[in-house]
Structures are given as structure tokens and as C-alpha cells.
Amino acid sequence: MPVHNAEIAAMLDQAAELLEIRGDNPFRVRAYRRAARVVEGLPRSVTSLLAAGEKLSALPGIGDDLAGKIAGIAASGKFDLLEGLKRELPGELAEIAALPGLGPKRVKLLHGELGVRSLEDLRRAIRQGKLRSLRGFGPIMERKLQGALAKPVAEKRFRLTVAEVEAEALVNHLRGAAGVGHVVVAGSFRRRRDSVGDLDILVTARDGAAIGARLAAYENVATVAARGPTRTTVVLRSGLQVDLRVVPEASYGAALMYFTGSKAHNIALRNMAIERGWKLNEYGLFEGKRRIAGTTEAEIYRKLGLPEIPPELREDRGEIAAARKKQLPALVTLSDIRGDLHVHSTWSDGTVAIAEMAAAARARGYSYMAITDHSRRLTVAHGLDPGRLGRQIDEIDRLNDQLKGFTVLKGSEVDILADGTLDLPDRILDRLDVVVAAVHYKFDLPRAAQTERLIRAMDNRHVSILAHPTGRLLGERDAYDVDIERVVAAAGERGCYLEINAEPDRLDLDDVHARAAKEMGVKLAISTDAHSVAALDYMRLGVDQARRGWLEPGDVLNTRPLGDLKKRLKR
DNA sequence: GCCGTTTTCGGCCCGACTGTTTTCAGTCG
């Protein structure tokens, strides 16, 4: 049973947490955390890297020691150091440290002085009034902890589209304040991560307190968590946390960079500043007391000898080295997209007729669109059998006769059956321009069977694109257990394309696997899976994830003009 | 524990805010 990168990262994180509570060298703790982030962001699994004879110690932040430990975890699924730490300290201490206001130091005190080993122990200690006797604890902390223990809030991430609605309203509200310059959403929102944990809003103004007051007075604010002259933190009714930072105009670039992150990217840049005898913080780049850059991000990057790095790449996953060598990718943009290759109509479960969808696609500047309605097995979606699909093909032919300068491609989103065969016979698939193959049931097959299923589907030369390859639904359903690297490799061998499904709850493939595909020379299609006209606009979210995956226009099938596209769809 | 165009040893990003303290440690981002 191969150990996933995410599992390795979780073990490294947990070890870091317990090491920190134990009071170990903070830099050792940081090394474990950094290694966790590096493993998490690897485009290939540790298992396959090792199988290929690659040295983990070549990865940034991973030396001989951690390389050995990570290899050990990959081989056995066990982490001796972590097991030992758990024998020494109760594992639940990590959960206690996650409570607001509690960190390693206070948890160590709780454990050492009061013998707290569990959340229940902590509740009891509070009930018995023991907490406030400890140094660093007082009545306010006691009350807050009581609240947090009473109704624990699961860590929640929000879909980009949900965050966008909240952000737009809030930005408009803040723009209404007097003396406001820039108002911009930074953080993972600006880096276009597939979901966000909070909103980081940067404002330039002279009077930070006034802007903070304006945020606190926003109608959707549930609680104000912190309030200072330059920083204010609130929690909205939706549960979304908002961090506001206010800086002077001259610090705009530095603050935007700081607030955009990622943290690891910032640390790397700050280290570059240190190497040059400078200091980089959210107010600017400084030589001694003198600010030598800070008004724009570009200016700071330039001083550090780098071209400006697009926010989507700022994850400390090699972008700084690439920038240094002037080898940053020229990322795909929405305007490079010439068509949508996965679209539904009223023939199955779409809400709009083909002609109307075509007009909407055309209005978006596209020159083609594939209609890919569901196949017969998906009865709830009125999936098409060969007879109905034949009639749909005829309808599209008639429609194309009337259209000038736009082409509706004939397609199907054909179900991949449990054994990897397709839900429609070859004789009808033969009449189509685009076949998008997808899994819609039996998500729980064993890994090997699921992997074989997808590969067998791609064995069929009619299959052009493998849709939503991992089947994940953000916040609802994990990816099915599949060896995605083998699937990517198999797609490459067969000349099959992989989809980045742009639906906001799918975004599948994700950024990391899209990049893996690129590195393995496999091309991708960015498709909306639209069931309505409005959903065609999700294309931009798919492009965002493609950019996070370092994709350039040449890596994306639907940047090709129609003639070229048709040639590439032939296998 | 990692790392090196000043270093193989001695550094390791940087600042804001809270609740505690009585000048600051701890937490957070």
C-alpha cells in the first residue's frame, strides 16, 4: 500500500507540533514543517521518486537526515520519531495547541503543571478553576477557551466562488471609507488557490484605525477578533475570517507582496534580501534605514535581481530559481482559450439548448465548443443512448450549416463502466469529434482496479479527454483512490488529454497534478463542464489552476485553432 | 535540521496584536 505524499506531510507536521511542545530547537521544528510543505507540493509521489532512484536530499529544505526519515515513512508507513514522541507526549496535545490562543508554550505548561493530556482534561481544569493559577493564563483566556471547547469549529475552507462574492461586497464597502487608496484582496485568494481559508485585504491609507473601524462596522461581521492601528481581524457571519492590513501608499508593493505570500515564498525572498545586506518586510526593502524599494512588487523583485513572479507561482516550488534563470513559464491566460470542450445541453441534464449554448460560447470570444452530453448509464441525467446521440449529431450538423465562424463539435461525456469499457459502442463514438470519458459511479474500487479502469478507458482510441480525472469534490468527496501518476503516464503513451475541470467544486486535476502532467509531457484541456450559460464563465477558474500548474498556452489543447485542434483529437 | 558568491559553523523572516505582565512572552499570519 503506497504512502501518499499528503500522509507523509501530515506525519512531518505532527512530529513538528510535538517537537515544538517538547521545547525542541525551533529551527529543527521549522525544518520539519518546511519539509512537510515541500513533500505536499511535489508533483510526483515520494514512492515513485525513490523507485526512480532520485535523491530526496536534492530537494530544497531536505537534507540527508530528513531524506532518510521520509524514505523510511514511504517504505513502512511508519515514522519512528513520531511514534516515540507520542509515547512521550499525549498525541491529543496537538489538538489542544490548535485551540485559539494556545500554542506550544502554553500547552507545555498545561501538560507539565496541570497534567492536561486531553481536551477533556482541559475542560476539567477550567471547571476546577486551576487554569488561572498558571503564569500566562488569565480570566479572558479562560473564557475564550471555554467557548472554543463548547463549540469546536472545524477548520473550514471556502470555494473561490464563495470567497469572491464575499470579497467583492467587502471591497466595495471598504472603498467607501474616506482617504482610501488601493483596496485589494491578497493571500491565497490572489494566488488563486482552489479554496481559501480566509480573506487577506490590503488597503493603502493614512489612517489605518479609520479603515479598521469601517471593517468592524461592516454589516456581515459576526465578531471582531483583533483591532489595532494597522491590522484588524474579523470573522464574518459565514465563518470566513478577514484580515485587514493598512499601510501607507509608499509601502503598497511590499505590503502586497507580504500579504500575498505564500509564507514560504516570502521567507525565501527575505533571505535573498539578507544575503545582500538588506531587510525586506511589509513596509519595503531597506538598506539600513533607507527604503530602496517598496511602492510596487515589480520594483522589489527587480532589486533582488528577479523578474516579477506571478502570484499563482508564489509557493516556493521552484519559481524563484526559475525566475533567477529567466525561465519563468509564460503562463496561459483566459484570452488564450479558443473554445470549451466539455459542455452540456437540454439533451441530458443541461438547462440550455445547444444553439443557445453555442451563442453564449461565441459571445465569450470562442470559435468552437463541444457538446458533450451524458451517456445512457447516467439515467438521472437523461443520458443519451446511441439512437438519441445519433439524432443529436444530426441536429448539430444542421446547426453548423447555419453558423458562420463558429463550430459546434459533436461529442459525448461517456461513462467509464466499472471494468473500464465505455457506456457507448465504438460505431457511434466513431461519428463524434470529441469523446470525454468520465467516472460517475463505483468510486470505491481498490486502487489497482480503479487505476486499470481509467487506463483501459483510455485504451479506446476514441477517447480524446479523460474528464475530472480524480473525481474529487472540494469539501465533499475525496479523490478516489487511484495511482494518478500511472494514469498521467498512460495518457501520455496513448496521446490522450487530461482535463482540468473548471467547476468550482471540482478543479480536477488540481494544480500539483497539472504540473506533474506538464513535466511528463502530457497535454491538458481546460473545460467548464457547463450545464448553464453562466457556468461557461468558470473557465477562468480552470485557467487559474492551470497557471498554478505552470501551464503555458502550448500545454493546453483548447488554445489551438479549430483546424489544429481537430488534427490533435485524431488518435 | 538545513545550508553556504562572506560561512562546513553559526546563523536561521519579520512584525502586529493580545493578554498578560509591569516591560513582554506568546501567538498569529
For the segment A311-346, what is each residue's pLDDT rounded down to a tens digit? 999 999 999 999 999 999 999 999 999 999 999 999
Q: For residue range A348-389, what is the model confidence (pLDDT) as tens digits? A: 999 999 999 999 999 999 999 999 999 999 998 999 999 999
Percent of chain A's residues with pLDDT above 90: 92
* Euclidean distance between CA atoms A460 and A417, whole angstroms: 13
Average pLDDT over residues A149-154: 76
> Is the link from the previous residue into A215 a cis peptide, with omega within 30 of 0?
no
pLDDT value at position A506? Answer: 97
Q: What share of chain A is helix, strand, coil (3-state, %, to 5)?
A: 50, 15, 35
Residue A318: CA count within 13 A, CB half-sphere: 16
* Chain B nucleotides near the protein (CB, 7 A): 1-3, 6-7, 11-21, 25-29
Confidence class for position A245, pLDDT limits 50, 70, 90: very high
Give yes or no for residue A151 having a pLDDT over 90. no
Residue A83 CB partners (closer than 8 Å, separation 6+): none
Q: For residue range A59-105, what is the model confidence (pLDDT) as tens digits? A: 999 999 999 999 999 999 999 999 999 999 998 999 999 898 999 99
The whole-number Å distance from A207's CA to B8's C1' is 49
Give yes or no for residue A1 having a pLDDT over 80. no
User: Does residue A130 approach strand B to less than 7 Å at its CB?
Assistant: no
With distances taken from each CA to the C1' atom of nucleotide B1, the closest residue turns out to be A28
Give yes or no for residue A155 having a pLDDT over 80. no
pLDDT value at position A475? Answer: 87
pLDDT value at position A570? Answer: 83
Residue A144 or A355, more confident: A355
**Residue A452, φ and ψ in degrees, nearest 5:** -60, -40
Burial environment of residue A258 by CB neighbours within 10 A (0 to 12, 13 to 18, 19 or more): buried
A406 near A362, Cβ under 8 Å?
yes
User: Does residue A144 approach strand B to less than 7 Å at its CB?
Assistant: yes
Average pLDDT over residues A295-321: 95
For residue A256, the Cα-to-chain-centroid distance in whole angstroms is 20
Residue A408: beta bridge partners? A369
Name the H helices within A239-308: 252-260, 263-275, 297-303
Cα radius of gyration rounded to whole Å, chain A: 26
pLDDT value at position A397? Answer: 98
The whole-number Å distance from A223's CA to B15's C1' is 24
What domains are defined for chain A?
Answer: 5-150 (1.10.150.110), 154-247 (3.30.460.10), 265-328 (3.30.210.10), 334-569 (3.20.20.140)
A406 near A358, Cβ under 8 Å?
yes
pTM of the entire predicted model? 0.94
Give yes or no for residue A231 having a pLDDT over 90. yes
* Euclidean distance between CA atoms A79 and A223, whole angstroms: 41
Q: For residue range A463-505, what is the model confidence (pLDDT) as tens digits? A: 999 999 999 999 889 999 999 999 999 999 999 999 999 999 9
* Euclidean distance between CA atoms A429 and A121, whole angstroms: 63
Give yes or no for residue A554 having a pLDDT over 90. yes
pLDDT value at position A571? Answer: 78
Give yes or no for residue A154 having a pLDDT over 80. no
Q: For residue range A4-47, what is the model confidence (pLDDT) as tens digits? A: 999 999 999 999 999 999 999 999 999 999 999 999 999 999 99
Average pLDDT over residues A399-425: 97
Cell triple for residue A368? 468552437
Is the alpha carbon torsion for A509, A510, A513, A518 positive or negative?
positive
Protein-nucleic contacts, chain A 201-240 to strand B, CB < 7 Å: 208, 226-233
User: Does residue A288 approach strand B to less than 7 Å at its CB?
Assistant: no
A211 near A198, Cβ under 8 Å?
no
For residue A75, the Cα-to-chain-centroid distance in whole angstroms is 28
Which of A133-147, A278-292, A423-437 ranks highest by mean pLDDT?
Answer: A423-437
Give yes or no for residue A116 having a pLDDT over 80. yes
Mean pLDDT of chain A: 95
Shortest CA to C1' contact from A227: nucleotide: B17
